[in-house]
Structure 1
Amino acid sequence: KDLRRKDRKKHKKRSKQIKLVRTYSIYVIAILLVGYGLFSIVSGPQIGPVGSTHEHLDVLVYIDGEPLDLNQSRYAMKSGYGHIHGGEGDIMHLHAINIPLSWFMESIDLSITPDSIDVHGMEYSTDENNVFLMFVNGDKITKVDYVLADEDRILIYYGSGSDTDIDRALSLVSNRAEGVNGMPNKGD
């Protein structure tokens, strides 16, 4: 009898421990799920699915006084989310919402940071002679995670810091996206 009582006592104790572990596990999982949800909200918008939008933007990458030729095939049709069509190097085509500028640039193999651009292994960054700047619709931005919007005019600039040179580059950013949006097929 004593042995059975001890076994039952031991079994009850073990049962209580298992229930306690289960309860704590459920709490931990719930806390992790809530934390993940909050992190997702705080970390900003996620790129939407392909087909969630159809937008066009003007873009110019300007390095040392010259526009970078984005008409080259190396930049064309890199992603279904956003891309440049061959022969239309001044127009970004977006097919997903919430695409950050840095993501788009990376997708065409041009990495940017707040103070530099990497063009095929050659890094151009702000130094004593030159500046790296980014503009959206003529306004200077510093965040590479700027979320692109329809008909934005983007300038990625590296060169002299003179106002004259910067204004010249800004004037070279095309304004074709608006016209493409007015086409019957929106310039697929």
Structure 2
Amino acid sequence: MSNDKINKKREKDQRRQERKKQKKRSKQIQLVRTYSIYVIAIVLIGYGLFSVVSGPQIGPMGSTHEHLDILVYINGEALDLNQSRYAMKSGYGHIHGGEGDIMHLHAINIPLNWFMESLDLAITEDSINVHGIEYSSNDDDVFLIFVNGENIIDTEYMLMDEDKILIYYGSASDEDIANALSLVPDRAEEVNASPNKGD
């Protein structure tokens, strides 16, 4: 065989091997893409299931119509929730202008921290942020949350009809705390009994 024929045959074999390699590489890439799609789908489904199972989500608007009493008490003074900056911040749960002592809920499963965040009053287990000023428990003052007179630490407490909520920051004195508790309004039951339930 001549050198030309040998070279042509060698080149032909090399091209065939290159095509084989490219085909194999292409199949590998396709396989990786397919597995990636499956993995992404599984992760998304898992996340969706986790979200559903991990706890109650805020219900649809109109799934309830409840009222609660609220007092935010900072350093011996009630925060004036009658101001327009707090009124009607969300359709799920809100305060009406001029009725800063009543929380209106129009959806089930609303956690306290979500409601407070909707008023731009973010809370944690040991602090409240009021317009950029953070009030945190320290050696002299305490941050406490009371629901129906009981101190709680669960900021994700699910609000319930006619709850009495006190968000307190100030002196750790039992007398001062008792005084603040006595100031929590008692109007939710009355609003619920009104013909239009306060709306």
Q: Please report the TM-score for the alignment, with normalisation by the length of structure 2.
A: 0.81
Q: Quote the offset at 1:161 in angstroms.
A: 0.8
2:193 corresponding residue in structure 1: 182
5 Å matches for 1:73-88? 73-88=84-99
What is residue 37 of structure 1 aligned with on the other side?
48
Shift of residue 142 of structure 1? Answer: 0.9
Distance 1:110 1:23 in 2: 47
Is 1:130 paired with 2:145? Answer: no
Give the match's secondary structure for 1:140: strand
Determine which of 91, 104, 112 is the counterpart of 2:123.
Answer: 112
1:62 to 35, 53, 73: 73
Name the stretch that deviates more: 134-143 or 43-52.
43-52
Structure 1 runs not aligned, ≥5 long = none
1:120/1:8 CA distance change after superposition, 3 Å: closer
Residue 131 of structure 1 aligns with an amino acid whose one-letter code is V
Report the Cα offset of residue 7 of structure 1.
9.9
Structure 2, unmatched stretches of 5+, are: 1-11
Q: Distance in 2 between matches of 1:166 and 1:184?
A: 35
1:96 equivalenced with 2:107 (yes/no): yes
Is residue 141 of structure 1 aligned with residue 152 of structure 2? yes
* Amino acid aligned to 2:65: H
| Higher radius of gyration, 1 or 2 | 2
Instruction: Tell me the CA shift for residue 37 of structure 1.
Output: 2.6
1:163 aligns with 2:174: yes
TM-score (norm 1): 0.85
**Aligned partner of residue 47 in structure 2, secondary structure:** helix
Letter of the 1:112 partner, please give it: I
TM-aligned CA distance change 1:65 to 1:31, over 3 Å: same
Q: How many percent of aligned residue pairs carry the same amino acid?
A: 77
Task: Return the offset for 1:10.
Answer: 7.1
1:137 and 1:27 map into 2 onto residues whose CA distance is 49
Q: Distance between the aligned counterparts of 2:140 and 2:83, measured in 1? A: 29
Amino acid at match of 1:82: G
Once residues 129 and 183 of structure 2 are traced to their aligned partners in structure 1, the CA distance between those partners, rounded to angstroms, is 21
Distance in 1, matches of 2:69 and 2:132, equals: 25
Please report the RMSD computed on the Cα atoms of aligned residues, expressed in angstroms. 2.4
> How far off is 1:17 after superposition?
4.4
Number of residues of Structure 1 aligned to a counterpart in Structure 2: 188
Amino acid at match of 1:153: K
SS, match of residue 123 in structure 2: strand
Moved more, 124-133 or 20-29: 20-29
